[in-house]
Amino acid sequence: MALKIVAACVNCWACEPLCPSQAISAAVPHFIIDAKKCTECDGDYADAQCASICPIECAIVDGFDMPLNPPGSLTNIPPERLAALG
């Protein structure tokens, strides 16, 4: 049971101080979650803290590689519109 930060991450630091398990650290090319430490915030918070503040859609994914913040969910920009721009 762990979340994962993927390439979309912009290294904004927002998630790092919020993690109750100190599972997140700065790294190159982007932040990483230590899968052994991540509890998905179970027992600490109702929502995964990193995914609740992360401003970037698709930067954090679950064990099935499904983004916790799918396209269009944070900026309200319709995904088709973004796709059309390339």
State the residues that interact with ligand SF4 by CB under 6 A: 3, 5, 9-15, 18-21, 23-24, 31, 33, 38-41, 48-50, 53-54, 56, 59-60
CB of 30 to other proteins, least distance (A): 12
User: Which residues would be at the binding site for other proteins (CB under 8 A)?
Assistant: 10-14, 17-18, 45-47, 49, 52-53, 55-56, 74-77, 81-82, 85
Q: How far apart are CA 14 and CA 66, in angstroms?
A: 21
